[in-house]
Chain A
């Protein structure tokens, strides 16, 4: 079989490599600076307040966490669904999943009002809380995907890698269900409170994770001078287009369902029509750039690698826009405690809440991205994760055909 013939090798990593690490280092340092600023002064220096309680750090964190689950697609397709052509890329897929999860979780934890109390979060559990359950799902993800990666890399453990792959597949679906449910179970807020959010987050994760995987693979192949055959990218772009289309379907159903309920007309009107930045980000960012543009780039004839990668970048931009609209747009719409009444107070009842992200929030988020990138860059040099060759013949195109 193809797997046995393929040689994996670390990337050489010379001058450009350390330059890239240095860039990551700068963003890590800026992220650390932002964290210590927030730790020292408190959240008063952020754009968040008692109305918009989750801000830009959560946009980055949840995007990375959701994408982490989706980054495992390639490995799952190889292990669970037996598509051998993806098998040589499965280790990179698992590594990227771990790296994205680490970056996302770091941002989430460092944004806490009392991030110094992580020991409390690790020792006190409320099993009715979706956050508490997610603590288990996230740590379990590291453990299971870590074991899966080990089984793939260690020849003696190879026979068990399929079982580990199945476990990782089930776990990551559960994990993204948990992430979507963080919002889905918020019964008081009209923008959320929907069971659809859990499956929608799963489908979104497929698109975001696959897009980031393709970008990582292309970057790694270019940097290590291992030309990437179009067999793998050609297949992945079809998969990616399916995920993007499915994401658009879920988003459409989510909003159409809400529009059927009179009580949700206000928030839907806000997001879809007159929500200012949120409406713009929804239609231009999430739908046009993150949905329609990638579909055109991926499905119109004459697809090239650069077109696929452009689609991937568009999906990532759309994903960040989606998280912004979902997380911040959902909070910007005021709680409707008294239906049939207009409300006003000194605590901003009855008004649209405004939010302007601060620099420290953005730097903290970018620090999380830098953590993920650094892990991938360092691991590619330390571990034999990438096939020596990525051309069509090596990836066993003929067999897969």
Chain B
């Protein structure tokens, strides 16, 4: 009987060890959150300073750095895919959430001349909110959900403000939904 008990305990230990070993590493992709977070936050602030403090009309050129980051991210995930030896449900869920996010983001950029930048920016913030709250649910990481909610609130406020303030709110939204959770992910698992 004692032997049987020990074996049962061993079995439970093995199951628990394997679940831990195959768990999604939360800190795995934090570099991507940080890269986009800092890039968008800094670009929005530079855009604001150049256009609304220094009066430079071509300030929006600052956003042309985004496609470059898009290429860097594509290379990062292509390399990661090559090294990947396991497919998990978490990875699949995250891939589809962020694929949807990117497709809607590109669609918004395409239709932006129709609805003006002032109309599009709040939707960007809603979009950050949807993606980060969904991700938070999948990886069980609360700071991302909190960041997502703050981002949505920024979007609501932005809808009532002039474009120059929307830039500052966009910066705040991305710092709360990408940058802060990105740093906190380092110590989480």
A in complex with B: no
Q: Give me the interface of A with B, judged by CB distance under 8 Å.
A: none
